Amino acid sequence: MKHSSEAFYNNFSFFYPLVDWFLKPQKRMLFEEVNQQPPGNLLEVGVGNGSHLAFYQEHDVTGIDTSEGMLKTARKMSTSKPVQLLNMDGEAMVFADASFDYIVLSHVIAVVTNPHNLLGEVTRVLKSGGKLFVLNHFTPANHLSIIDRLFSPVARLLSFRSVFYLNDIKSAGRLRLLKQIEFKPASYFKLLIFEKV
């Protein structure tokens, strides 16, 4: 995950409160689904500025990010429980196998160098029966996909992938889709909940 996006997020961490506001309805649903789970060890990959940390109610939380600028902001966040924050690449995590009960990928999978490598690492460090929560945009499998394709050159400048299909993640091995929540307009944003089998 460590590539040109690291410099981008180091320099533009101040911009993220606006992004969080725009994505507030989707993130509210993410927190609701996560907090319905029994208490456990939770890893957020791409923890960013730490805006999610206060919303994980009963879990022991670890957050990783490659942007030290983002982590600096995250360390200032007030939380009810201690949180471990580490500078680490989600595509090459140092955690032992089966370390976490839950893993959250919130608008992360489209900014990494290799999404399949990330999913492989996530599967490795997730416990059997553990849950993976993926909140992301997904390119529609219809004529609306042209919007993402046209935006792709701009997206690359902003260090993310605008064209990302649902099947790109559904095909990941050892992950069984439990639930899919779609958000308007046009179901462009989705929350996917997987179980490691």
The model's pLDDT over 20-42, given as tens digits with 9 standing for 90+, comes to 656 778 899 999 999 999 999 99
Give me the pLDDT at residue 79, please: 81
Say how far apart CA 177 and CA 169 lie, in whole Å. Answer: 10
What are the 10-residue block averages of pLDDT along the chain, 197 residues in total? 51 59 81 98 95 93 94 87 94 98 92 86 97 85 55 50 61 84 78 95
Site of tokens 């994980």: 56
What integer pLDDT is reported at residue 50 of this predicted model? 93
Pick among 3.40.50.261, 3.30.365.10, 3.40.50.1370, 3.40.50.150: CATH of 4-196? 3.40.50.150
Distances (CA, A) of 170 to 53, 54, 81, 94, 138: 27, 29, 33, 25, 12
User: pTM score, two decimals?
Assistant: 0.81
Domain positions in the chain: 4-196
- pLDDT of res. 155: 46
Q: What is the reported pLDDT for 123? A: 95
